[in-house]
Amino acid sequence: MTAAAQRSSPVELAISTRRQAGSGALIGYLPVGFPDLDTSIEAAVALVENGVDVLELGLPYSDPVMDGTVIQQATQAALAGGFRLRHGFEAVAAITARVAAPVLVMTYWNPVVQFGVDRFADELVTAGGAGLITPDLIPDEAGEWLATSDRTGLDRVFLAAPSSTDARLAQAVEKSRGFVYAVSTMGITGARSDVDTAARGLVNRLRGVGATSTCVGLGISTPEQVREVLAYADGAIVGSMLVKALQEGGVDAVGRAAAHLATGK
């Protein structure tokens, strides 16, 4: 029996608990090390204290092709400020010591490869992390990570896009654990006035191939959009809007922003 089979996914549990309460989960993204390591930890804690159910902690990377300007600028500032991978594990440990919400790490693939997939997973488990969201790793290329996440029981969140074929959606559902990340629009991260109608269709297609835990991300920045998404999906993921709040008003502002978003749950 693999570790994965023995251990239930805390992320999936957090999401289904919210679903059973008649709503869905709010998932909040912030990068580690922005504006500095300590403040990023405080900000993540503030998200949970203000209604965020699952944390998505981003590891700053030199070539973030999935990110729009807000997150690019924040992660670039974190790198310039001396971000190192070990700070990611330190942040996860510090946050999970203070709040109960599960913490997923969002990382581009090369840092994991260089750290060593096994070593990365083991350190993440030790720090209390729940798993990885991998924006530039598709299941087809993820052999090593599939084996390692099975061994450690870590969650693995793969992306599904409006352009994905049904066969690829089925693969994303089969290989993901925790949830499937439904990309709301053909694009990159950043707030949008309308969350694409493509998101609803994509979530329906994912359900059609067996998805039980699907969260929608990209472009969500208001409580109204959160409510709209939770009407058909299991969770709503917010990133750029929170990063902007942190950048402009610090920890207090990002806490208020989370509380405001949570009114849409």
Partner 1 sequence: MALRDELGPYFGEYGGRFVPESLIAALDELDAAYQAAREDPVFQEELAELHRTYTGRPSIITEVPRFAKHAGGARIILKREDLNHTGSHKINNVLGQALVARRLGKTRLIAETGAGQHGVATATAAALFGMECVVYMGEVDTERQALNVARMRLLGATVIPVTTGSRTLKDAINEALRDWVANVENTHYLLGTVAGPHPFPVMVRDFHKIIGEEARAQVLELTGALPDAVAACVGGGSNAMGIFHAFLDDPSVDLYGYEAAGEGHLTERHAATITRGRPGVLHGARSYMLQDEDGQTIESHSISAGLDYPGVGPEHAWLADIGRAKYLPITDDEAMQALRLLSLTEGIIPAIESAHALAGVIKLGKELGPDATILVNLSGRGDKDMETAGKYFDILDAEALAAEDVAPIDPSELGMSDGGVER
Alpha-helical regions (H) of the chain: 3-6, 10-20, 37-49, 69-80, 85-98, 109-115, 117-127, 143-152, 166-175, 198-208, 223-230, 240-262
The nearest distance, CB 98 to partner 1, in angstroms, is 26
Q: Which stretch, 6-14, 15-23, 39-47, 160-168, contacts partner 1 (CB under 8 A)?
A: 160-168
Determine the Cα–Cα distance for residues 26 and 15; give it in Å rounded to an integer. Answer: 8
Q: Which of 67, 123, 155, 196 is catalytic?
A: 67
Q: Does 79 bind partner 1 (CB under 8 A)?
A: yes
Site for partner 1 (CB under 8 A): which residue of 24, 28, 58, 68? 68
Q: Does 92 bind partner 1 (CB under 8 A)?
A: no
Q: Does 61 bind partner 1 (CB under 8 A)?
A: yes
Determine the Cα–Cα distance for residues 67 and 218; give it in Å rounded to an integer. Answer: 10
Q: Does 71 bind partner 1 (CB under 8 A)?
A: no
Q: Which of 56, 155, 196, 234 is catalytic?
A: 56
Q: Which amino acid is at 265?
A: K
Determine the Cα–Cα distance for residues 36 and 224; give it in Å rounded to an integer. Answer: 31
Which residue in 223, 180, 241 sits closest to 29, CA to CA? 241
Residues that contact partner 1, how many (by CB under 8 A): 41
| 67 given a catalytic annotation | yes
Binding residues vs partner 1 (CB under 8 A) = 61-66, 68-69, 72-73, 76, 79, 84-85, 109-115, 135-138, 140-141, 158-165, 168, 172, 183, 186-188
Which residues are known to be catalytic? 56, 67
